[in-house]
Amino acid sequence: MRNKVTVVGAGNVGSSAAQRIVEKHLADVVLIDVVEGIPEGKALDLWESAPVEGYDCRLRGTRDYADTAGSEVVVITAGLARKPGMSRDDLLMKNYEIVRSVTEQVVRHSPDAILVVVSNPLDAMAQTAFRVSGFPKQRVVGMAGVLDSARFRTFIAMELGVSVKDVHAFVLGGHGDTMVPLSRYSTVAGVPITELLPADRVKALEERTANGGAEIVGLLKTGSAFYAPAASTFEMVDAILGDRKRVLPCATYLEGEFGVDGYFVGVPVVLGRGGLERVFEITLTDEERAAFDKSVNAVKELVAALPA
Ligand X SMILES: NC(=O)c1ccc[n+]([C@@H]2O[C@H](COP(=O)([O-])OP(=O)(O)OC[C@H]3O[C@@H](n4cnc5c(N)ncnc54)[C@H](O)[C@@H]3O)[C@@H](O)[C@H]2O)c1
Cβ neighbours of residue 213 under 8 Å, at least 6 residues apart? 82, 88, 224, 225
Q: Report which residue type is found at 279.
A: V
* CA 155 from centre of chain: 19
Binder among 4, 7, 12, 248 for ligand X (CB under 6 A): 12
Could you tell me where the beta strands, DSSP code E, fall in the chain? 4-8, 28-32, 59-62, 73-76, 114-117, 140-142, 167-172, 180-188, 191-192, 246-255, 261-272, 275-279
Cβ closest to ligand X, residue 132 vs residue 188:
132
| Contact flag: residue 268 with ligand X (CB under 6 A) | no
Site for ligand X in 180-239 (CB under 6 A): 223-226, 229
Cβ closest to ligand X, residue 81 vs residue 214:
81
Please report how close the Cβ of residue 282 comes to ligand X at its closest, in angstroms. Answer: 22
Query: Does residue 109 have an active-site annotation?
Result: no
Please report how close the Cβ of residue 119 comes to ligand X at its closest, in angstroms. Answer: 4
Binder among 4, 14, 21, 250 for ligand X (CB under 6 A): 14
CA angle (174, 16, 129) in 5-degree steps: 40
Binder among 6, 26, 33, 238 for ligand X (CB under 6 A): 33
Say if strands 191-192 and 180-188 run parallel, antiparallel, or are unpaired: antiparallel
Please report how close the Cβ of residue 113 comes to ligand X at its closest, in angstroms. Answer: 16
| Contact flag: residue 68 with ligand X (CB under 6 A) | no
Binder among 68, 77, 128, 154 for ligand X (CB under 6 A): 77
Query: Which candidate, 180, 158, 154, 130, places its Cα nearest to that of 295?
Result: 180
Q: From residue 93 to residue 132, what is the string marking binding to ligand X with x (rule CB under 6 A)?
A: --x--x--xx---------------xxx-x----------
CA–CA distance, 115 with 105 (Å, rounded to integer)? 12
Q: Which stretch binds ligand X (CB under 6 A): 30-38, 195-203, 256-264, 287-295?
A: 30-38
Binder among 7, 8, 260, 271 for ligand X (CB under 6 A): 8
Cβ neighbours of residue 278 under 8 Å, at least 6 residues apart? 269, 270
Q: Which stretch binds ligand X (CB under 6 A): 45-53, 67-75, 77-85, 269-277?
A: 77-85
Say if strands 4-8 and 191-192 run parallel, antiparallel, or are unpaired: unpaired
| Contact flag: residue 143 with ligand X (CB under 6 A) | yes
Three-class DSSP labels, 215-280: HHHHHHCCCCCCHHHHHHHHHHHHHHHCCCCEEEEEEEEEECHHHCEEEEEEEEEEEECCEEEEEC
Cβ closest to ligand X, residue 236 vs residue 260:
236
Question: Catalytic residues, which ones?
Answer: 175
Which residues contact ligand X by CB under 6 A? 8-14, 33-35, 38, 77-82, 95, 98, 101-102, 118-120, 122, 143-144, 147, 175, 223-226, 229
